[in-house]
Amino acid sequence: MYDCVIVGAGPAGSTAAYHLSKAGRQVLLLDAAKLPRYKPCGGGVSPQVAQWFDFDFAPAISVKVRKVRYTFNMADPIEAELPTEKALWMVRRDEFDYFIVQQAQKQGATLWDGTKAQSIENHGDFWQVNTTQGPAQGRFLIAADGARGSMAKWLGFTQRRYKLAAALEAEPRLEVPSEPVVHFDLGLMQQGYLWNFPKADGYSIGGGVFRSGTQRKQDLRTPVGDYAAAFGVDASTVQHFGHPIFIWDGPQDLHTHRAVLAGEAACVVDPFTAEGIRPSIFSGLKAADAIAQALKEDDHQLLLSKGHQSLADYSQIMNTEWGEEMRWARRLARLVYSAPALAYRAGVKRPSSTLTMVKVFCGEVSYGEVAHRAIQRLSKGLLS
């Protein structure tokens, strides 16, 4: 009997495993894939995540990038430079995710990789997860199985609030200049953007349609191919991977009896930037705190008839501390993706814009503060 079984060893699950194990709890972390595993992802990570751990991420960062270059429809380029301490982390997800898993193992977490959860059973004061390696039992359960997982459905979250987005990614191995640059293009991909994120030994080139509400099937392959060609990459020779994204779409309960949803299973992705790693890590951290507290409630038999208060608090924390920010992100996304040319001219090209967005990405400035000003400016532009 584990204190907690965590399904999914991405950033959310591995973070929760790390923190719960560090708190002295018995944790089983399981993942369907044999680790390290590939995850379609740009691998752009906010340096803010470092503050939530007490180990050094250096071995898991492929390169840190200070130069950001934007284009609109592949033209009208603009470049910005970031201060050293705000350099963006570019990671390969197989290495990054597995690195956190290994830190959790060092704290005592048990890993079953190559082990798929196939169903769950509620036994009152514990959950049983039936896996391809046999059953596993835990007093609590964290569903961190990402956008493709089934855990939320099995736990009874059949009406989760999210907007479905999609992205396509390829990782060509090419020589990277000594001073790497992060590239974005707005305009060529409707209702989203294209990216080229450098790594030590190549790139992540991809594009996504992120705007909520526009679910007309859009061709991702052509713009990604055209964009890749601009960097000398023949897209037909590189394997592409598509993946759904669960964009945050409003507050909701993320807890149930002795279980919580974390990461993309909790639909945490930013509607404007499609950033999912930082919020997944944040939710993993908060889920671990909540379950550590709930285990104490159990130990001291403080359980009230309403259920574990700390699990309800977890939903509340995610809906306020992350959700409030995402409310603004959604408004910004609506404006920017419906008038990208204006947004590029009046927003992206402003000299201060990149640093401001990076401060949001680093959690130093609230989305609300920035979005409010940006929305006013862009709305004025639209009206005039």
CB of 43 to ligand FAD, least distance (A): 5
Element containing residue 15 per DSSP (H, E): helix 11-22
187 near ligand FAD (CB under 6 A): no
Instruction: Annotate 26-36 with b (16+ C-beta within 10 A) or e (fewer).
Output: bbbbbbbbebb
329 near ligand FAD (CB under 6 A): no
How far apart (Å, rounded) are the C-alpha atoms in residues 360 and 350?
Answer: 16
Binding span for ligand FAD by CB under 6 A among 101-109, 272-280, 298-306, 364-372? 272-280
Instruction: Pick between residue 167 and residue 292 the one whose CB is nearest to ligand FAD.
Output: 167
Binding span for ligand FAD by CB under 6 A among 2-10, 53-61, 72-80, 186-194? 2-10
Instruction: Pick between residue 40 and residue 198 the one whose CB is nearest to ligand FAD.
Output: 40
CB atoms inside a 10 Å sphere around CB 341: 12
Beta bridge partners of 87: none
Size of the site for ligand FAD (CB under 6 A): 41
Binding span for ligand FAD by CB under 6 A among 217-225, 273-281, 288-296, 357-365? 273-281
How far apart (Å, rounded) are the C-alpha atoms in residues 141 and 133?
Answer: 17
Name which of residues 133 to 172 contact ligand FAD (CB under 6 A): 144-146, 148-150, 167, 169
8 phi/psi in degrees, rounded to 5: 110, 120
How far apart (Å, rounded) are the C-alpha atoms in residues 264 and 284?
Answer: 10
47 near ligand FAD (CB under 6 A): no
243 near ligand FAD (CB under 6 A): yes
Residues 5, 126: contact at Cβ < 8 Å?
no
Element containing residue 156 per DSSP (H, E): none
Binding site for ligand FAD (CB under 6 A): 7-13, 30-33, 37, 39-44, 116-117, 144-146, 148-150, 167, 169, 206, 243, 245, 263-265, 269, 274-278, 280
